[in-house]
Amino acid sequence: MWVKKSPQELKKDQIKTDWKVAKRTALILIGILVFASIFHTGEEAYKGESFLVSPEDIIGRFLSLAPPFLICAFAIYAFLWISVRIVPLQMDSNSICVCPMCGSEKKFDRRLTCSCGGHSEDIKTMKWIDDKT
């Protein structure tokens, strides 16, 4: 049967989501940083030189680009954290709702009352527990 998750379980889920966002942000920005360190970008790319940076210059470029990228990473993560924590996403047409009384699942259609008389809730706030009866 479906039961509501405890506040501790919801917090644990939120921490997992935070880590996913942090990892994804870090991977994207590290990839961009490495790309910018290895390849000529901007004005340098139009000088007719090779598009690759010489091996001696890669470390210097990486170290000079790292601080702005760290600031950007922090800003992006803060924006994502604020957008998820302070202004949580509302359920949309792809969200799944479940009725804890009868266990029926449906896509969110703006009607939260179930035909059994129960109240459908977002499945992310619910968990399944096997009946032991």
Q: Largest alpha-carbon pair distance within the chain?
A: 76
Among candidate residues 16, 1, 3, the one with its CA nearest the CA of residue 126 = 3
What's this model's pTM, rounded to 2 decimal places? Answer: 0.60
SS3 content of the chain, % helix, strand, coil (to 5): 55, 15, 35
Domain extent listing, the chain: 7-85, 96-128
pLDDT at 32 over 90: no
Q: Are 72 and 86 in contact (CB under 8 A)?
A: no
More confident residue, 107 or 84: 107
List, for residues 89-117, the tens digit of each pLDDT value.
566 667 788 888 887 777 777 777 888 88
